[in-house]
Chains A and B, each alone.
Chain A
Amino acid sequence: AQKVTQAQTEISVVEKEDVTLDCVYETRDTTYYLFWYKQPPSGELVFLIRRNSFDEQNEISGRYSWNFQKSTSSFNFTITASQVVDSAVYFCALSEARIYNQGGKLIFGQGTELSVKP
């Protein structure tokens, strides 16, 4: 069965600190996708990144970076120089690769609530 674990329930940092959100996943599939979503207090789910299982290159987008390590089944997310606006709940999610009309649903981790204080 697929499973996503975000062991950090809450993290509190001071503005400008770097912070890493951990994500560990379990799957028997050889092809799958990993996602990160941000959920601000307003409630919407904001897409941050999708990574497929064959692409282990790390990615950087502005202050955000992601480290995908298939060997340890981890897909960690780092925010550099955090800002108050980064305060939100962050979800890591896993989906199996879609084959025609099968699959595709997201399995979410429990979420990490990040609080960035000024």
Chain B
Amino acid sequence: AAGVIQSPRHLIKEKRETATLKCYPIPRHDTVYWYQQGPGQDPQFLISFYEKMQSDKGSIPDRFSAQQFSDYHSELNMSSLELGDSALYFCASSSSGGYGYTFGSGTRLTVV
């Protein structure tokens, strides 16, 4: 069965650079979620999209932005990267009538 695809799997950036993470949800899933998991921490909700519109917002820094495109894939854009942005970033998708969440394998971002 198709899963949630995230790319890239690993990313190394320098401070003040920009990073773009991509997420391809499961076909026919209508909602995409982004989470950030710092080292030794639990995943924290950043933002979600329902049918390409932002549906909920969590503790997402102003330096970050996200959108969902017409083909339902989503991108998380992070600018002016800081050392503290080093984390595992997960994307998940779900459907209105579906059983629940499916997470991607995550993107490990390292800011040096």
Q: Is B86 an interface residue (CB 8 A)?
A: no
Q: Is A55 an interface residue (CB 8 A)?
A: no
Q: In the complex, what residues of A have CB within 8 A of residue B44's CB? A: 108
Q: In the complex, what residues of B have CB within 8 A of residue A98's CB? A: 31, 94, 96
Q: Is A57 an interface residue (CB 8 A)?
A: no
Q: Is B65 an interface residue (CB 8 A)?
A: no
Q: Number of contacting residues on B, CB 8 A? A: 28
**Interchain CB contact under 8 A, B48 and A104:** yes
Q: In the complex, what residues of B have CB within 8 A of residue A95's CB? A: 101
**Interchain CB contact under 8 A, A100 and B96:** yes
Give A93 Cβ to nearest chain B Cβ, in Å: 8
**Interchain CB contact under 8 A, B100 and A45:** no
- Interface of chain A residues 38 through 57 with chain B (CB within 8 A): 43-45, 47, 50
Q: Is B55 an interface residue (CB 8 A)?
A: yes
Give B28 Cβ to nearest chain A Cβ, in Å: 15
Instruction: State the main secondary structure of chain B at its contact with A.
Output: strand
- Interface of chain A residues 59 through 115 with chain B (CB within 8 A): 91, 95, 98, 100-111
Give B48 Cβ to nearest chain A Cβ, in Å: 6
- Interface of chain B residues 82 through 97 with chain A (CB within 8 A): 88, 90, 92, 94, 96
**Interchain CB contact under 8 A, B31 and A47:** no
Give B93 Cβ to nearest chain A Cβ, in Å: 10
Q: Is A35 an interface residue (CB 8 A)?
A: yes
A103 to B100, CA, bound (A): 12
Q: In the complex, what residues of A have CB within 8 A of residue B94's CB? A: 98, 104
Chain A residues near B (Cβ < 8 Å): 33, 35, 37, 43-45, 47, 50, 91, 95, 98, 100-111
Sort A-B residue pairs by CB-CB distance and give the 9 closest, nearest first: A101-B50, A108-B42, A105-B45, A45-B103, A50-B100, A101-B55, A44-B105, A108-B43, A111-B42
